Structure 1
Amino acid sequence: MTFVLVKERTFRWPVRVTLPTDQGKQTTNEFTGHFRLLPVDEFNKKNKAWIEALSDDLDKANELRFALVSEILTGWDGVVDTDNNPVPFSDETLKALCTFAVVVKAITDAYGEALEPAGERARRKGN
């Protein structure tokens, strides 16, 4: 397949959110994230700032992590409200979704997984 050089590359990838339930069990819910591929230097700069802030200022670290998520996640399918109505993607709904650390982790994990070569992903999972 020929590689096409584009100004901005986007992709869709499953985001799996694991949540605790009663009696020490967990449940995994999934939605499809619409992602924007960041240039390596931009991603590394944002990620480094977040890591450095972790040891000094957790509020700043949370702001930086949300800023990274809002740069890479541009939409979604499969996020619903308590009445099972689709929740439209917006800055406000993304911020509401990201109030839970497990969701932020799931989004950044999905982004990282998408960029990992399939062979490495299979080896890491023991396949």
Structure 2
Amino acid sequence: MFKIAPNPEFTHDVTVRVPVDGGFADQTFKGRFRVVPWDELQVEDRDPDAQTRMVWIGWDGILGEDDRPLPYSDAQRDALIRMPFVRTAVLRTYVDAVSGAKRGN
């Protein structure tokens, strides 16, 4: 059975490939997303930062420098989006989730 939600939201694991000396460290958190219609995301002048702000609405499992949970806020989200490896991971997770894509190795 297919059930329609008026404002669908979902949570998925987001894996961020954080650059470190000599390679990458995969770090994971739970991202909260809202489903945005494709036509709203694909506006010609819409940049990846704006797209990410539209869909990323919360998280769990992100820690601050003091190892305490970092509460979600739009300002903190925007600061994280400015990190290219975070933005890429969040958008990839969202697109894969709404399109049903499965990631390979």
What is the count of residue pairs matched by the alignment?
105
| SS of residue in 1 equivalent to 2:45 | helix
**Over alpha carbons, which structure has the higher Rg?**
1
* Distance in 1 (alpha carbons) for counterparts of 2:35 and 2:12: 12
1:59 match = none
Unaligned runs of 5+ in 2: none
- Whether 1:33 and 2:31 are equivalent positions in the alignment is yes
Q: State the shift of 1:65 in Å.
A: 2.1
1:69 match = 52
Cα deviations by residue, 1:78-110 (Å, 9 ceiling, x for unpaired): 011112111111111111111211111011001
- Whether 1:86 and 2:69 are equivalent positions in the alignment is yes
1:18 match = 17
* Distance in 2 (alpha carbons) for counterparts of 1:20 and 1:73: 22
Q: What fraction of aligned residue pairs are identical, expressed as a percent?
A: 30
Q: State the shift of 1:40 in Å.
A: 2.1
Moved over 4 A (4+): none
Determine if contact 2:49/2:82 at 8 Å carries over to the other structure. Answer: no
* Distance in 2 (alpha carbons) for counterparts of 1:43 and 1:72: 9
RMSD over aligned CA atoms reads 1.6
Q: State the shift of 1:113 in Å.
A: 1.4
Determine if contact 2:31/2:60 at 8 Å carries over to the other structure. Answer: yes
Q: State the shift of 1:49 in Å.
A: 2.5
Q: State the shift of 1:75 in Å.
A: 0.4
Aligned AA (1:26): F
Determine if contact 2:31/2:56 at 8 Å carries over to the other structure. Answer: yes
Normalized per residue, which structure has more strand?
2
Q: State the shift of 1:115 in Å.
A: 2.0
- Whether 1:101 and 2:101 are equivalent positions in the alignment is no
* Distance in 1 (alpha carbons) for counterparts of 2:39 and 2:97: 18
Aligned AA (1:43): L
* Distance in 1 (alpha carbons) for counterparts of 2:89 and 2:35: 17
